[in-house]
Structure 1
Amino acid sequence: MKHDIAVAELPPAPSSPEEAKAALDKHTVEMVQWHFSEETGSPFWLEKKSTYDFDPLTDVTCFEDLRQFPEFEDEWLRGGPVRRWLPKGLEGKPLYVFETGGTTGIPKSRLVAEDHWIDYEMFSHTLPDEFFPEGADWLMLGPSGPRRLRLAVEHLAQYRGGISFCVDLDPRWVVKLLKAGKVEEAKAYQTHVIDQAYTVLTAGHDIQCMFATPKLLEALAMKLFDEGTSIEEIGIKGIFAGGTEFTPQWYKFCKEELLGPNVYITPTYGNTLMGLACGKPFDPAENYKITYYAPQPRAAVEVVDFDDYNKPVGYGETGRVKLYTLTKELFIPGFMERDEGEREEPCDKYPWDGVSGVRPFHVFAKTTTVGVY
């Protein structure tokens, strides 16, 4: 790995569920102390503290104690001033603001200094060097603009010694076209994006790795087939992809029809608040089942009861996805995602709970428009 641009010393990964639980409890307490201390905390959480009937500084002694916090409200992330989220302990650092959503109304935004770099350095250590070679260049085939993904993938490439090539892509425009029933215009925009990617891949560069959403990866593969080549023949060895369209059925189709046996692909589940949850290593015996594990202890995911968001469901049972963000830059004690899935047991590589079958939360599913994802 190329560590000369690394921004964080990553702790050793826990080797058992007990170690993982202890690390999460310790990290939770440290983050609560940071965000609710008068010396280091953010204006938002210092103001909220006065409204609680408990004291976060003394009453949070483990991860489960975060359930004392009232439900985090989605609307708190819409609009400004965005600096209300800046912890005093980070004042003076160069800052980014990243947006998510925003197809209608004010988008949710997140203030960031280095979290997007740290998240992707952690993710880098989960990638097999055989398929993501050190020094290889990357294609970033995903949303650009005010989203963190472009800069995060760019850092991932640089961290591994490579260069990231990017395309212009506005996912909000795609969703607007689809909502207006302008399917042909949306297809034309997708073609415009794929043409950009094809141009980069055929311009004589040595691109061996890429990020793509499932829809765009499929469209790119079809474009290459039409041109008499393929993802493998164009030089791609490793892909990480993410999006709601990454289903077991698509996973099977992708590996068998689009990529072939020599191109590696790993599913991911992430967003601007969490970072990147990794997919459990592929196991043929699991019939393309996709299980995600959050990047603990910096973020954690629970699958909770539809009627009681403080009650995790049993293993194998279905519930709504609840996200906790626990970094020095952002503290979110339980954000109800627009997704549902099944709770999964820890695995060897990630010895903490996971979630499988991630799909739009059934209450919202009929009103959700899926664009490039």
Structure 2
Amino acid sequence: MTEAEAREQLDAHVCEIIEWHFNPETGSPFWLEKAQSFNFDPRKDVKCFDDLKKFEHFEDEWLRGGPIRRWVPKAYENEKVYVFETGGTTGIPKSRAVVNDHWIDYENFSDTLPDEHFPKGGNWLMLGPSGPRRLRLAVEHLCQHRGGICFCVDLDPRWVVKLIKRGNMAEMEAYRDHVIDQAVTVLSAGHDIKCMFTTPKLLEALAMRLMEDGTSIKEQGITGIFSGGTEFTPQWYRFAMEELIEGVYMTPTYGNTLMGLACSKPFDPADEYKISYHAPQPRAVIEVVDFDDYNKLVGYGETGRVKLTTLTKELFVPGFMERDEGEREKPCEPYPWDGVSGVRPYHEFATTTTVGVY
């Protein structure tokens, strides 16, 4: 697909999603009510992606509190609905109502995984957040979709963040050790686990524990690791590949409850372990925009804030300003649309952001 074809596909998809969410027969109650205050008609006036600038930027406060069913499109009102949370260390967390999106996102992501490292039928270890987070069910579905059985640990990242904010590092380390104990137990139980999802900090902790025990992640049978988070920097990537998991394949990802998963550009040693992420267009779009004008893209290689637009039949989110910044990257093969590299906490929030297990 060329860049022009990708843009044409995106524009057509935008029209389909707008018609769906603002049609009284299929739309979500939130947007049908919100449209009454617009000075334009989305179904008539939005004809391409650029027309989404007619909407005000999405306020994350809209996702805090209920009723949660205002986000469920009328077309899905009789379907089984999941709710996933993000944030919530203090105050009311942001919530997303989901029917099938988490399955779809991870099945699409599955198509990007090399079978030689993530073997079909291989069992997985999910070493990451549990509870009300979509990762728990989504990674398990990814494993099952590929024919395996998923083993999970019990992990509450909100508790980790609270301990860090209190400065109670001894208890935080004890909780981390408790989580790693669970992972080591699963790996030692003869379940023939081949693949793993985890976060950079937990991967490092697990690798160090196994080294202390005289073994390694590779020796435990792991052949493929899917990991993500703002701690996944080029420096850490090189450290992990050379010191922690030598001989094991790892794919970086950037994702969240609203976007799904942005895959990384294929690894190129000439790039000095540079990690560029590309959103799963047309279901989600990432833009890197000017810090002072969120409707203006920065130049390629320039730094800006990450702006997310979600475009699925279950959720329409125009212009959500992420708590991240990075550099705008050019389209590449196999992703003929913009990407972002150097993802890190937005500098205005960085001093107040507690990373926790990520």
With normalisation by structure 1, the TM-score equals 0.95
Alignment of 1:314-353 (within 5 A): 314-353=299-338
- Of residues 70, 83, 86, the one that matches 1:100 is 86
Letter in 2 for 1:367: T
Determine the C-alpha separation between the residues in 1 that align with 2:298 and 2:312. Answer: 26
Q: Which amino acid aligns with 1:214?
A: P
Structure 1: distance between partners of 2:3 and 2:141: 30
Residue 272 of structure 1 pairs with residue 257 of structure 2: yes
Matches of 2:292 and 2:236 in 1, distance apart?
Answer: 31
State the 1:349 CA deviation: 1.1
Look up the equivalent residue of 1:311 and give its one-letter code: K
**Alpha-carbon deviations, 1:42-75, whole Å to 9, x = none?**
1100011011111100111001110110011110
Structure 1 CA distance, aligned partners of 2:338 and 2:222? 32
Alpha-carbon displacement from aligned partner over 1:268-325 (angstroms, at most 9, x marks no partner): 0000000000011110000011100000110010000000001111111110000000
Deviations 1:22-48 (A, max 9, x none): 111111110000000111011100011
The aligned counterpart of 2:60 is 74
Q: Does 1:292 align with 2:280?
A: no
Gaps of 5+ in 2: none
Q: Distance in 1 between matches of 2:166 and 2:5?
A: 51
Residue 120 of structure 2 is matched in structure 1 by: 134
CA–CA separation in structure 2 for the residues paired with 1:61 and 1:31: 11
The CA distance in 2 between the partners of 1:59 and 1:113, in whole Å, is 28
The sequence identity of aligned pairs, in percent, is: 74
Across the aligned residues of Structure 1 and Structure 2, the Cα RMSD in angstroms comes to 0.5
Q: Post-superposition, which runs of at least 4 consecutive aligned residues in structure 1 deviate over 4 A?
A: none
1:293-312 to structure 2, matched below 5 A, reads: 293-312=278-297
1:16, distance to aligned residue in structure 2 (A): 1.4
Shift of 1:18: 1.2
Per-residue deviation, 1:216: 0.1
C-alpha distance in structure 1 between counterparts of 2:219 and 2:265, whole Å: 27
Partner amino acid, structure 1, of 2:213: E
In 1, Cα distance between equivalents of 2:201 and 2:73: 38
Question: For residues 87 and 79 of structure 2, what CA distance do their matches in structure 1 show?
Answer: 26
d(CA) in 2 for partners of 1:22 and 1:210?
Answer: 36
Equivalent of residue 141 in structure 2, options 155, 160, 166:
155
Shift, 1:339, TM fit: 0.2
DSSP 3-state at the match of 2:225: strand
> 1:11: which partner in 2?
none
Structure 1 counterpart of 2:233, from 247, 259, 263: 247
Match of 1:209 among 183, 195, 216: 195
Amino acid at match of 1:357: G
* Equivalent-residue separation in structure 1 for 2:9 and 2:195 (angstroms): 32
